[in-house]
Amino acid sequence: MGYCHCYTQLKSVPDDQWLLFTVQLSNVFLIIQNRHVPGYKQPLVLCTSDGRYPLLQPADLMVQSGIRQPAISFNGEEKEDLEYESFFLGQHSSGSEFCKTSFNWSPDRPYDFMVKVTLLLAHRFCIGCYDISSDGTLAEWLDVQEWLTKHLGGQWPIPEAILNNPE
């Protein structure tokens, strides 16, 4: 199955929201290091955007983009043929930015789980900053939502465009 996760950055993320978002993303990174992610064949290995070097600590998810802005970036593992398109989410908007990441999902591409986690975290903590949509099934997003609730507690709203997506 192939599908796209899309987001448009509507405005820059305020520093306090970005901090909350990245702290929770770091928590998820630490949790998945020692636990199998349900629905995926292999342990989740995240790599640099080129897929060559494994990310070993939460800080490795955080990069400085070409315009010197904080961002989140990762990919699957190239040597295992698990990379696809690099995921990138920046803190600051240029005002007309459209970002699209598409995935050919299979159980062999476990980093898609982390893409959905990152987008749900951004939706909750970076309020009004990103317009997020996906043509993946609602059931897949509900699985990630359930995982977040189990491991981090709280509620993890699914973006409206995903809830209203006809399957």
**Over the stretch 66-82, which tens digit does the pLDDT of each residue have?**
667 899 988 877 666 55
Which two tokens mark 123?
């939706």
Establish how many alpha carbons lie within 13 A of residue 91's alpha carbon, considering only the half-sphere containing its beta carbon: 19
pLDDT at 130: 92
DSSP code of residue 58: G
Residue 106 has pLDDT above 70, yes or no: no
> By residue range, what is the domain housing residue 41?
2-163
CA distance 13 to 97: 14
**Cα–Cα distance measured from residue 160 to residue 71, given in angstroms and rounded to the nearest whole number:** 24
Whether 104 has a pLDDT exceeding 60, the answer reads: no
Q: What pLDDT does residue 1 have?
A: 46
Residue 111 CB neighbours (<10 A): 24
**Those residues with Cβ within 8 angstroms of residue 162's Cβ, 6 or more apart along the chain or in another chain:** 132, 133, 134, 136, 138, 141
- The model carries a pTM of 0.87
What's the number of CA atoms in the CB half-sphere (13 Å) around residue 31? Answer: 16
CB 88 within 8 A of CB 65: yes
